[in-house]
Amino acid sequence: MCGICCVVTLCSQRAIHDFLSEDILCHLRRRGPDSSQELIKTVSDLSYQCLFSGHVLHMRGLVTPQPLEDASNNVFLWNGEIFSGVHVGNLENDTEVVFHHLASCSSEMDILSLFSSLQGPWAFIYYEAGSHSLWFGRDYFGRRSLLWQFSNEVDRAFCLSSVSGCSESGSQWQEVPASGIFKIDLKACAATKSLSLTWFPWKYSCREKAVEETCINVLDQVSKDLPNHVHLVLNESKLCLRAPVIPLNKTVSKASGACPSSNFSNINGVVSVETLQEFLAEEHKKNLACQFIDVLNEAVKRRVLCLCRDPDQITREVPSMSHKRAHIAVLFSGGIDSMVLAALADKHVPLEEPIDLLNVAFMMKEQAKHRGTTKRQTGHEVQLHLLCTQESSQDAAADTGTHSSCFDVPDRITGRAGLKELEAINPSRTWNFVEINVTLEELKKMRKERINYLIYPLDTVLDDSIGCAIWFASRGEGFISNQGELKPYKSPAKVVLTGIGADEQLAGYSRHRVCFTKDGLEGLNKELEMELGRISFRNLGRDDRIIGDHGKEARFPFLDEDVVSFLSSLPVSEKADLTLPRGIGEKLILRLAAKELGLTASAVLPKRAVQFGSRIAKLESNSEKASDTCSRLKLPSVDEL
């Protein structure tokens, strides 16, 4: 994880540093605490100037300060991880490797071929000195944040940055679309005193019949959000990048997915774990589940082993716990996604090394009110939680006392139950179940000081709830149980695994059931295709900014290119069966994989969104809609600071 930033001025009368505020630099340094430096390139005869600012979080190889510059005056800023596609040795730094490949490119096609081959999350800025070109972009899914801001026509300046800040000009920041990579001919822009962006789109095949129509639609969509003096054009040669995943298989089978046993639930509607075993008795389903485990296991392996493990680094771990520090953390609710990631991480993380399970809870308004609400809820989900977590809840109460009862939100309860499952799978592992408790006062304080800048430019109530929950969870400050007592703990792990991408590909959201009921498998296919297409601007840029603020790196195994291609190759009926009840039908293939991995009650937990499981959604207002603009996310103006 790094913080990267570039400011370009064209014939501007203002100093270039005036366009880079101190608060942006502060946010960038938090992302990259291991090295910070800047470089200014002035091309006087062409009247343009570039400032490059790089802030490095050291993850692999030797610490490599950014920006990098070579003998040809090319400059490179990189925020990414290469897991496949281009070889990066165990002792090499991927920033240097990618820069070396870029320097050897002799054409636009060479550059496009390079970025088409990279597997892993990335955002980059590359100044090609010989052609006076500035290249930049994000990976296919947009797993790394990159924002752009354009000043007014008088200043003729623009900025690219991993994170935003207050703006004196009032110009809006927007996320760079993850629809391809972009190139700016600085020589031409300086001559015409205008700004033109050339776009190189992602495509499954550059010979697609609808490629031009698709490009026109994207061009129109992106252009409408740009200032009038900024122009976006498709490259004249109509070159494109090769998408790193295969297209979605939209085959619809006429055979309906039948449950192997009509007795799939008990009289109370609680789904039985044994149902999954009955599915696995079918050779085809068992083979698919095992194939899924294999490809997801490899994705997790890459993400938990690809980092430096420094045994001498000082931590704030509890002294009487494991003498080794945790390098890997999981955003952990005890739900199916986080449980599978934790179980697979356990296969590859050195046994003597703890794994941190980050579990966030927001203080409930009134415990009495909470009990009343629970009594009124008699549906499938609450019954299931009571059945699968009763013993865990009793044990936890005995361990921690009543002072934590106001934080016993649904995700805390299922998280404790999930911990017991993981301990049963591998009792030799130190599992640090980190109870992260957030009060309303601290939520308001940190949202104002930090979180609102990171969620921006997104601004809905849903963004606020999810963004705040992930920020506190990934910070990793809470308590762990040590010999029956809760002790303060701060997770030292630099890598944070998150399960995002599972619901989008495996029909995990409630809206998928609505869509299936209304439009069948054809409609569900369209919805899933749309989900993956919009994940960059709905989720991933925000989550990268949020987690990166702690000097940690978000890694997304469910969005590994090989995982996505495997799931995309399957008909939707092999991945989910929404004729079956919640807790079985959605994400069916993942539930079967979980059962194969030895998981039990968590394998049939219904989907519960983090904003409800952590109880943040009801902490401040019960009347808001998720899509409403959130007044709490309003950024202060420069005058208010």
Which of the four pLDDT bands, split at 50, 70 and 90, describes residue 311? low
Mean pLDDT of the chain: 87
Per-range mean pLDDT, top range of 39-48, 122-131, 317-326, 367-376: 122-131
Please state which of the ranges 120-129, 402-411, 564-573 shows the lowest mean pLDDT. 402-411
Contact yes or no for 43/49 (Cβ under 8 A): yes
Q: What is the pLDDT of residue 383?
A: 39
Name the more confident of 225 and 377.
225
What's the rounded Cα separation, in Å, for the pair 206 and 242?
Answer: 8
Angle between helices 336-345 and 283-305 (to 10 degrees): 60
Q: What is the pLDDT of residue 492?
A: 97
Q: What is the pLDDT of residue 607?
A: 87
Active site amino acids: 2
* Domains of the chain by start residue, with CATH: 2-242 (3.60.20.10), 274-640 (3.40.50.620)
Instruction: State pTM to two decimals.
Output: 0.91
Tens digit of each residue's pLDDT (9 = 90 or more) over 401-416: 444 688 999 999 999 9
Residue 632 pLDDT greater than 60, yes or no: yes
Residue 246's Cβ-side half-sphere holds a number of Cα atoms within 13 Å equal to: 11
Contact yes or no for 329/496 (Cβ under 8 A): yes
Please choose, from the candidates 181, 169, 173, the residue with its C-alpha nearest in 3D space to the C-alpha of residue 226: 173
Residue 317 pLDDT greater than 90, yes or no: no
Residue 370 pLDDT greater than 80, yes or no: no
Residue 165 pLDDT greater than 90, yes or no: no
Please state which of the ranges 140-149, 151-160, 272-281, 494-503 shows the lowest mean pLDDT. 151-160
Q: What is the pLDDT of residue 631?
A: 86
**454 Cβ neighbours under 8 A, 6+ residues apart:** 27, 163, 467, 471, 542, 545, 546, 549
What's the rounded Cα separation, in Å, for the pair 280 and 296?
Answer: 18
Q: What is the pLDDT of residue 192?
A: 86
Residue 379 pLDDT greater than 90, yes or no: no
Q: What is the pLDDT of residue 170?
A: 61
75-88: average pLDDT: 96
Please choose, from the candidates 151, 148, 190, the residue with its C-alpha nearest in 3D space to the C-alpha of residue 173: 148
Q: What is the pLDDT of residue 167?
A: 58
Residue 269 pLDDT greater than 80, yes or no: no
Tens digit of each residue's pLDDT (9 = 90 or more) over 453-483: 999 999 999 999 999 999 999 999 999 998 8
Tens digit of each residue's pLDDT (9 = 90 or more) over 186-236: 999 988 888 999 999 999 765 555 566 677 788 888 888 898 889 999 999
112-122: average pLDDT: 97
